[in-house]
Amino acid sequence: MSVTIKKRIGILRGGAGKHYASSLKKGGDIILHIHENLNDKYRVFDIFVDKDHVWHMNGLPVSPNDLAHKVDIVWNTSHPSFSNILDNLSIKNISASSFSYTLENSKEMLREHMEKLGVQIPKSVVFPLYQEDFDGPMDKYIIKKAKEVHEKFPAPWIVKSFTPDASIGIHLAKTFPELVDAIEDGVNHEKSILVEEFIAGKVASIHSVPEFRNQNIYIFPLGNTFGVFSAEEKEKLSNLVKELHKHIGAIHYLKSDFVLTPRGKVYLLQIESIPDTKPSSHFSEVCESVGAKMHHVVEHILNFA
């Protein structure tokens, strides 16, 4: 009787920094997805780095030097600096490059580099977590920040709170009083606040994976679309996604959110380097639309690494 030898996959999450919580969540989703769908081929290990930079494996402290004997590959959902450690230890890993990670998490850097591709980024401003001792009375702070936004770019505005649940704390403000109310809601969430100019047009989320189905860059059909896209518009966005892969060095996966205005101008809203592996995600839907299961693509990403 033959025995299947499972590959040992470590999912690295946590670490210090402002993306600590999101890394925990994304890494946890991947652990659950592989365990539920690829358990016959892979053995999953949870590699957690706490805020004091102490590494743990399945709940027990571990030295990074010991990982080479415990896992075959690591999927890093935290900062790319951890992949530098893994590279130095000759441990295969999946990770965003430092450059693409920076662009993913900095609107200003993304705007600067996308201009080279002729792609616009909506104007935006970020307000750190409100602190009464530093920022003064809340009511005056809210009015002050609303005026700052109003002076930088006109209505309408999208106001978002950086909350674990993306469905909470998102507002479309068309007037100054609505902007004030939206910022107040963000302050009450006790999170940082992002205010962006609202771009009217057709919205599309495009997922892409290198070397899938024998294509250099496989472009999944448009997902999460608002509006009907012509064949020419779809081709335009697909070509742009391929340029993004080359420009930012997306090695394993890329999700690009666009708005196409009625005049044909393209705005890039955001990019993401880690797929959303929850069963109800848009990524799951677009995989199903081409006759694939999401775990088939996840397995491809693992094998491609």
**1: in domain:** no
Residue 230: other Cβ atoms inside 10 A? 10
The band of 239, judged by pLDDT with boundaries at 50, 70 and 90, is very high
Residue 190: pLDDT band with limits 50, 70, 90: confident
Q: Which residue has the higher pLDDT, 63 or 165?
A: 63
d(CA 86, CA 32): 23
Q: Show which of 163, 197, 231 is a domain's final residue.
A: 197
- Whether residue 66 is contained in a domain is answered as yes
Quick one: 31 and 106 in the same domain? Answer: no
Residue type, 214: N
Please identify, among 153, 180, 197, the residue that sits at the C-terminal boundary of a domain. Answer: 197
User: Same structural domain for residues 244 and 109?
Assistant: yes
- In single-letter form, the type of residue at position 250 comes to A
**CATH number of domain containing 26:** 3.40.50.20
Look at residues 197, 227, 261 and tell me which one is the last residue of a structural domain: 197
**Residue ranges making up the domain that contains 144:** 124-197
Same domain, 80 and 222: no
238 within some domain: yes
Same domain, 279 and 146: no
Shared-domain flag, residues 220 and 112 = yes
Residue 2 lies in a domain: no
Q: Please state, in angstroms and rounded to a whole number, the distance separating the CA atoms of residues 80 and 97.
A: 6
Domain count, the chain: 3
Q: Where are the alpha helices (DSSP H) in the chain?
A: 20-37, 81-88, 98-105, 107-114, 132-135, 138-152, 176-188, 231-248, 282-289, 294-304
Say which residue the tokens 């001792």 belong to.
133
Measure Cα distances from 300 to 30, 82, 160, 194, 238 in Å: 14, 22, 34, 35, 21
Residue 166, in any domain of the structure: yes
Please state, in angstroms and rounded to a whole number, the distance separating the CA atoms of residues 260 and 204.
8
Task: Please report, for the domain that includes residue 161, its CATH number.
Answer: 3.30.1490.20
Same domain? 88 vs 176: no
Closest CA to 124 of 93, 104, 148, 142: 148
Pairing of strands 215-219, 170-173: unpaired
222 in the same domain as 111: yes
Q: Do 189 and 225 fall within a single domain?
A: no
Are 115 and 247 found together in one domain? yes
CA distance 80 to 83: 5
pTM for the complete prediction?
A: 0.87
Summarize pLDDT for 145-155 with one digit per residue, the tens: 999 999 999 99
Question: Which whole number is the average pLDDT over 250-255?
Answer: 93
Question: How far out from the chain centre does Cα 91 lie?
Answer: 24
Torsion of CA 272, 274, 280, 286, to 10 degrees: 70
Q: 225 and 80 share a domain?
A: no
* Cis bond before residue 221 (omega within 30° of 0): no
> Tokens in use for 254?
């890329």
